[in-house]
Structure 1
Amino acid sequence: MTGNHRRHSLAARRRTRRLAGLAVAATVAGAATAGCGALGEALGTSVDRYDAACALLVDGSGSGGEAPDGFDAEAKLASSLPDFLADRECRTLAYAPITRASEGSLCQAEPLDLDPDADATLDRDELRAAQRAVASGRALELLECAREHSPGSDVIGALDRVSTAAPEDGEAFSVLVVSDFVQRDSSFELPHEDLTTPESRAALIDDLAERGRLPDGLSGATIYPSGYGMRLSRDSDAYADFDAFWTELLEGRVGADVDPTYQR
């Protein structure tokens, strides 16, 4: 092989490597322009990410005390929230307190990203577990605030408050409600209302609708109660009327689905 031939071959190899490098750079640059997901694919580091929107309501009323006198809100949180977040593959978690006036309550917790962007070398499952632990801590702080400030049980107002976190595109919205659902606010106390007939229940719901009290924006959402009706469980007739009221309100009027998966 002549010296000129060797020089040409070496130059050709250099040009080939340079062109390959430029091609990789162009691919990465194009992926970066397209977004983080495309960049992850270009670098071989893409992972499946959660995308479900979720919410949590916590009841700060006196009925949330320890069993047997209450439904034990803290125990319900501990037993239901981690499973709810994992089962539903929640990406975001919004919070709302249940107090005597839930919509205007000063208690709040910042929404949380449960599957955040992170270095590709981190274990994604461990990261999600760590974020779920953060979510539980925030939930307990919110519960403590709800107990200290205007304790009560405005479940309807809390549902309306958290509805602002529902996706605007109609995607799934899962709401865990840690409460016995015994509504008690300044204008509506469920234990004092007549729930015994379909007509009496319909009249109550009509009145709530006329006063603008029905939750808005939860059509198609799935509500997961935890602690629901526990204080009425010894009275089968009272529980049946109570359950009929909430079913007619949430499913019949609001358009949500009620799922008992975490009612334990």
Structure 2
Amino acid sequence: MTAPDRLRPSWRARLLALPIGFALLLPGLTACGGPQRLSGGCGIVVDGSGSSRETTGFNADQQLRKDLDRFLLKAKCRNVVFAAITVNSAASTCSSEPIDLDPDEIGTTPREQVRASFRAATLIAAQSLLKCIYDDKRNDGGSDVLGGLARIARSHPDSAGDFNVLVVSDFMHTDPHVSLYRADLGTELKREKIIDGLVDRGQISDLSSIKLTTSGYGMLQGKDPAKFSQFDAFWRSVLKDHAGVPEPLTLQ
């Protein structure tokens, strides 16, 4: 049984426990009128790596609770896909099924109520994905942030125009070649040398289709303004200059 297979029963059980009855969303009945339909394609990336623990100062679950609903509303998300940041994000077996926040068939339930239900379901799905990552102790040894970004970029819904992505991570990328815990980011030359290595190894993907928002970015560096400035300069160079992420680039 794969990790996604283990994930799904809990996911469905928690959906049934939501206070707004999903049983009312009967197939075959389509509501008329109501608010303008949603159309945005969105991605949620959650960091369950070793740094994603409350004791480190970055709590991924807490950040999800704080920022996810606001992001979904602001981006007018309809189709939501998920990706995990793990020790090896590209090979991670943790996943979650896509969610349609504004389905065509909603029975007699008011559409805004349906959307609120599915936004709650999106939080549950992200938390379940986070739990799957936590349960695999191999993920304590690294944080493949770039791999998680690449994976969500490949998940861009074909029918979507803009692709708004929320990355819940401290962005402390750590792999066998680069650890931002130990890397010297003190000068532009040193930062570019590290980035050149990432480019040579094919670790920086084309992210030009993504409108990026973060939650928890640089949280572990925030107490030292000098270190945060170097960290921020590194990531802005990676994301803007090399991966092609367009402005506005919301790093927070």
Bin the TM-score by the shorter chain: 0.7 to 0.9
SS at match of 1:115: coil
Q: RMSD of the TM alignment (CA)?
A: 2.0
Bigger radius of gyration, 1 or 2?
Answer: 1
Structure 2's unaligned 5+ residue stretches are: 1-29
1:57 partnered with 2:45: yes
Residues in 2 aligned to 1:248 and 1:179: alpha-carbon distance in whole angstroms: 18
Q: Which amino acid aligns with 2:211?
A: T
SS at match of 2:167: strand
SS at match of 1:92: strand
1:159 partnered with 2:159: no
Structure 1-normalised TM-score? 0.77
CA 1:56/1:119 → structure 2, altered by over 3 Å: closer, same or farther?
A: closer
CA 1:107/1:113 → structure 2, altered by over 3 Å: closer, same or farther?
A: same
Q: How does 1:33-48 map to 2 (within 5 A)?
A: 45=33, 48=36
CA 1:142/1:167 → structure 2, altered by over 3 Å: closer, same or farther?
A: closer
Residues in 2 aligned to 1:237 and 1:219: alpha-carbon distance in whole angstroms: 29
SS at match of 1:174: strand
- Provide the residue aligned with 1:174 in structure 2: 164
Structure 1's unaligned 5+ residue stretches are: 1-39
Contact 2:53–2:59 (CA<8 Å) still a contact in 1? yes
State the 1:168 CA deviation: 5.2
State the 1:165 CA deviation: 2.0
Contact 1:100–1:186 (CA<8 Å) still a contact in 2? no
Quick one: which of 72, 85, 91 aligns to 1:104? 91
Residues in 2 aligned to 1:86 and 1:194: alpha-carbon distance in whole angstroms: 39
Q: How does 1:240-259 map to 2 (within 5 A)?
A: 240-257=229-246, 258-259=249-250
Deviations 1:4-60 (A, max 9, x none): xxxxxxxxxxxxxxxxxxxxxxxxxxxxxxxxxxxx8xx964752111111111111
1:235 partnered with 2:218: no
Structure 2-normalised TM-score? 0.81
Q: How does 1:139-154 map to 2 (within 5 A)?
A: 139-149=126-136, 150-151=138-139, 152-154=142-144
Contact 1:109–1:142 (CA<8 Å) still a contact in 2? yes
1:83 partnered with 2:83: no
Deviations 1:55-93 (A, max 9, x none): 1111112322225x3211111000001111111110111
State the 1:220 CA deviation: 4.0
CA 1:225/1:136 → structure 2, altered by over 3 Å: closer, same or farther?
A: same
Residues in 1 aligned to 2:150 and 2:130: alpha-carbon distance in whole angstroms: 18
1:187 partnered with 2:172: no
State the 1:136 CA deviation: 0.5
Residues in 1 aligned to 2:158 and 2:125: alpha-carbon distance in whole angstroms: 25
Q: Which amino acid aligns with 1:83?
A: R
Contact 1:62–1:70 (CA<8 Å) still a contact in 2? no
Residues in 2 aligned to 1:185 and 1:231: alpha-carbon distance in whole angstroms: 18
Q: Which amino acid aligns with 1:56?
A: I
SS at match of 2:43: strand
Contact 2:81–2:98 (CA<8 Å) still a contact in 1? yes
- Provide the residue aligned with 1:9 in structure 2: none
- Provide the residue aligned with 2:102 in structure 1: 115
Q: Which amino acid aligns with 1:121?
A: T
Q: Which amino acid aligns with 1:259?
A: T
Query: Which structure shows the bigger proportion of residues in helix conformation?
Result: 1
Residues in 2 aligned to 1:226 and 1:46: alpha-carbon distance in whole angstroms: 32
SS at match of 2:79: strand
The count of residues paired between Structure 1 and Structure 2 equals: 218
Query: Does 1 or 2 have the higher relative contact order (CA < 8 Å, sep 6+)?
Result: 2
